[in-house]
Structure 1
Amino acid sequence: MLRSVRKVAIGGVLILTCAAAQPNPVFSDTGYAADAYGAAEHYPLPIPVHARTQKQFVGYYSHFDEVRPADPIARAGTPSTFKTSERELALQYPYGGQYRSLNDYLDRNPVTGLLIARGDTILYEHYRYARKDSDRFMSQSMAKTIVGMLIGIAVSEGAIRSIDDPANVYVPELADNPYGQTSIRDLLHMSSGVHFFEDSNPGDDRDKLGRDLFNPHGLGAVDAVKHFDKREHAPGAHFSYASIETEVLGLVLSHATHMSVAQYASERIWKKMGMESDGSWGRDASGQNIAYCCVSATLRDWARLGMMLAYDGRWNGQQIVPRDWVLQATSVASGDGFLAPGNANPIFGYGYQVWILPGERRMFALQGMDGQRIIVDPGSKLVLVQTAVWTSDHDPGMREIYALWYALDAQYGAPWPH
């Protein structure tokens, strides 16, 4: 909670200042192409059973759990605190043949929230399109990394005996399916070898899977997974990004722990980390949480998650995720060259449900479609969080956010004292 709050309007932008050691977020009612995103209609929510339009993107992404069925990820106790930098971060980054500022970035891109933190201090926190710091922003595939970390916790607790076990040890309903016959390790690496085509366009296999999960009368996760049963590569040898592999991991997790994925996330991450707000996790018609997407959380709670990973699994005075697991999850083992940056993807590598940035230093990212990003440099304890409403034709390679990131890391990337 903010205490001793004072509101100041400067140039149409509302700034909150606070006497306590809390963030000082900056709010704006506008944003890039605000009219196209429904500013005149106050950024409306989607209409049930109708196709989502661009004017409904902002409302959809910040009120997902009011539009779709979702389970709470409950917080507990006093929130862990962030300090506030005495001066807001000023940054210039090269892009498009010129140097640009953070304000330029916000004016050029459909960002609903941008937060940059180092250690326990927030350096920059801006909200656009009339979004508030109490809004919960939906993750898309950033949720996959949470699933990967929850698997590590379940292994440390003995609920999962080994990630070399096939998934059907925990989900016997998949005994005759190639996904069930794939090891948890290979599912974490998205290297099952089972055919699943995903390019985030209508009609791809992820779209078909989503229809089975999001439809109120849909099949639910187990039966939806069974539709995909053709293995085209040996497991553990070929990376192919496939949301269904996270869906199978979600089934493993819920079966092994005898808890829903949302409940397990609440008990093992949200409560222990001192998140400031409840989160939520979308669920399918069978009551299973949709593991490959659909976690909603406030911008600062996303930052807490990123900072926990920057500290190799430790936050709020506790080891939330085992340190060795975080290190393994965010690195490429010597024998897994097919997962290395430039091999798994033309730019990135892949760990346990997390993208690995190229370069000698260990840096990694949680990435979700339509612009959701958490980028982490553990060496400097630097974290960038972006929530957004990208359209398919806007900066499809997401190049500008990484131009900004590398300039930020060059300025603040000195090793953090331990």
Structure 2
Amino acid sequence: MQQRRNFSTYLLVCFLGALTVPAFAAPDEELLGKDKGYPVGTRANWFFDETVRVGSFSHIDQIFPHNRLSKAESPLPLAPAGGETKLEYRFENQKWTIDDFLSHQRVTGLLVIKDGAVLLERYQYDRKPSDRFISHSMAKSIVSLAVGMALAEGRITSLDDLISKYVPKLAGSAYGETTIRSALRMSSGVQFSEIYDGKDDLTRFVIARGRDGSISALRQFEAREAEQGTRFHYASSETVLLAVLLREVTGTTLSQYLTTRLWQPMGAEADATWTTTADGSEVALGNFNATLRDYGRLGMLLANDGAVGGKQVVPKDYLLDATDWRRQPAAFGPGKATPYFGYGYQFWLYPGEKRRFALLGVYGQSIFVDPELKLVMVVTAAAKNANVGKESFAFERGAVWRGIVSKYGSW
């Protein structure tokens, strides 16, 4: 009888496991290193070499030194919605399911939350809930939140102040004579190329920063090709400029500043890490690392206009200024800043009457937020291209988000 009961339990476990583990192979498993256990790369190859991309993107804090943001003593619960919700979307004139999306694209983690309940949580390439996934440029939005907090605390007097007011070492330089607001909107007008080919200004900037420090690296870019505040031009250097500002006005690292102001108040269940440069400051333009669920908690905080448990964690007015395209000058609206997205304070803004926005990073990292529906979708990935607009990934991911939004509201 006991053997029969044990066997029945075994069958039940197998059945429940089959509900959460896709029966299909994830795309390009062997190319991405499955037979080698998805190895972690080195400082030289982790970003460009796709054979170590999965391992590196979920274990980058094994490669680089980092600061840590400690988890909350009492994590915010993420309640299950009561069985996985069926979610569908249309793409290329066909109807698809989430299983199809996972079989099509190099998604390492997918999480959908509505009203604080988990509708769906999936992992591929042997990733698991305890893994910390890299943010890439989603980190830029976190830097923006720190700016909003420093402003609310009076550490920054006005977003229209010049950076050099707070960072005298940048006085007389193009970036030093840029306003905080212009840096937030990536509208300094300073010439800077960022195309992820290993030969662009971003590469030159990263090398110079590692060798000479952030101030010296920022001062190497002096050609202003447009009047500041008049156009959006994506440049990771401008997020570093904000990080330098924050170090000056707070007197501490970004990780220390945000641990007690953001990470713990929002109820993180795990420590996060942030890769550091030679001087101990955070990379800032990327390289923040957190679990999928904690990215979900961050998305929920933003969906609730910066509040959790009745406490305002992120200043609401600042967050609205950062994420509402109507609050931006015309040049930064959807269809103007880019052919599709608008750009706020280090956030990507969706077109449409309803306020929706996203945190985006290269190779497919993303958090999508719909405040009205209290809906969040988190995607971590190891896509083929840094710019996922060069492949189907961006378009299918967008279709998935649109399908989920349409299930609960109108687009």
Q: TM-score, normalised by structure 2?
A: 0.92
Note if 1:82 corresponds to 2:75.
Answer: no
Q: Which residue of 2 aligns with 1:142?
A: 138
Note if 1:252 corresponds to 2:252.
Answer: no
Q: In the superposition, relative to structure 1, how do residues 258 and 382 fare at CA in structure 2: closer, same or farther (>3 Å)?
A: same
Cα displacement string for residues 362-403 of structure 1 (whole angstroms, at most 9, x for unaligned residues)? 100000000001000001001000000011286626111111
Structure 1 counterpart of 2:216, one-letter code: D
Q: 1:8 is matched with which residue: 10, 13, 34?
A: 13
Q: In the superposition, relative to structure 1, how do residues 14 and 171 fare at CA in structure 2: closer, same or farther (>3 Å)?
A: farther
Query: What CA distance in whole angstroms lies between the structure 1 residues aligned with 2:237 and 2:21?
Result: 38
Query: What CA distance in whole angstroms lies between the structure 2 residues aligned with 1:38 and 1:234?
Result: 47
Q: How big is the shift at 1:95? A: 0.9
Q: Which residue of 2 aligns with 1:315?
A: 308
Q: Which residue of 1 aligns with 2:256?
A: 263
Q: How big is the shift at 1:88? A: 0.6
Structure 2 counterpart of 1:396, one-letter code: K
Q: Which residue of 1 aligns with 2:108?
A: 112
Contact 2:321–2:328 (CA<8 Å) still a contact in 1? Answer: no
Q: Percent identity?
A: 39
Structure 2 counterpart of 1:390, one-letter code: A
Which residues of structure 2 form unaligned runs of 5+? Answer: 1-9
Q: Which residue of 2 aligns with 1:32?
A: 27
Q: Which residue of 1 aligns with 2:185?
A: 189
Query: What CA distance in whole angstroms lies between the structure 2 residues aligned with 1:194 and 1:220?
Result: 19
Q: 2:148 is matched with which residue: 152, 167, 176?
A: 152
Q: Which residue of 2 aligns with 1:47?
A: 42
Structure 1 counterpart of 2:379, one-letter code: Q
Query: What CA distance in whole angstroms lies between the structure 2 residues aligned with 1:275 and 1:352?
Result: 24
Structure 1 counterpart of 2:84, one-letter code: E
Q: In the superposition, relative to structure 1, how do residues 42 and 237 fare at CA in structure 2: closer, same or farther (>3 Å)?
A: same
Q: 1:234 is matched with which residue: 213, 219, 227?
A: 227
Q: In the superposition, relative to structure 1, how do residues 274 and 38 fare at CA in structure 2: closer, same or farther (>3 Å)?
A: same
* Aligned residue runs from structure 1 range 268-307, under 5 A: 268-307=261-300
Q: 2:175 is matched with which residue: 155, 174, 179?
A: 179
Q: 2:215 is matched with which residue: 219, 222, 227?
A: 222
Query: What CA distance in whole angstroms lies between the structure 2 residues aligned with 1:297 and 1:28?
Result: 27
Contact 1:30–1:39 (CA<8 Å) still a contact in 2? Answer: no
> Structure 1 residues 284-293 or 337-346, which shifts more?
284-293
Query: What CA distance in whole angstroms lies between the structure 2 residues aligned with 1:147 and 1:27?
Result: 36
Q: How big is the shift at 1:333? A: 4.4
SS at match of 1:8: helix
Q: Which residue of 2 aligns with 1:18?
A: none
Q: In the superposition, relative to structure 1, how do residues 160 and 220 fare at CA in structure 2: closer, same or farther (>3 Å)?
A: same
Contact 2:73–2:264 (CA<8 Å) still a contact in 1? Answer: yes
Q: In the superposition, relative to structure 1, how do residues 303 and 257 fare at CA in structure 2: closer, same or farther (>3 Å)?
A: same
Note if 1:362 corresponds to 2:352.
Answer: no
SS at match of 2:89: strand
Q: 2:60 is matched with which residue: 60, 64, 76?
A: 64
Q: TM-score, normalised by structure 1?
A: 0.91
Q: In the superposition, relative to structure 1, how do residues 208 and 374 fare at CA in structure 2: closer, same or farther (>3 Å)?
A: same
Structure 2 counterpart of 1:318, one-letter code: K
Q: In the superposition, relative to structure 1, how do residues 254 and 33 fare at CA in structure 2: closer, same or farther (>3 Å)?
A: same
SS at match of 2:68: strand
Query: What CA distance in whole angstroms lies between the structure 1 residues aligned with 2:327 and 2:116?
Result: 33
Q: In the superposition, relative to structure 1, how do residues 186 and 98 fare at CA in structure 2: closer, same or farther (>3 Å)?
A: same
SS at match of 2:296: helix
Note if 1:128 corresponds to 2:136.
Answer: no
Contact 2:188–2:228 (CA<8 Å) still a contact in 1? Answer: yes
Q: 2:406 is matched with which residue: 383, 405, 410?
A: 410
Q: How big is the shift at 1:269? A: 0.3
Instruction: Calculate the aligned-residue CA RMSD, in Å.
Output: 2.1
Contact 1:117–1:123 (CA<8 Å) still a contact in 2? Answer: yes
* Residues paired across the two proteins, number: 397
Q: Which residue of 1 aligns with 2:390?
A: 396
Normalized per residue, which structure has more helix? Answer: 2
Which residues of structure 1 form unaligned runs of 5+? Answer: 1-5, 16-24
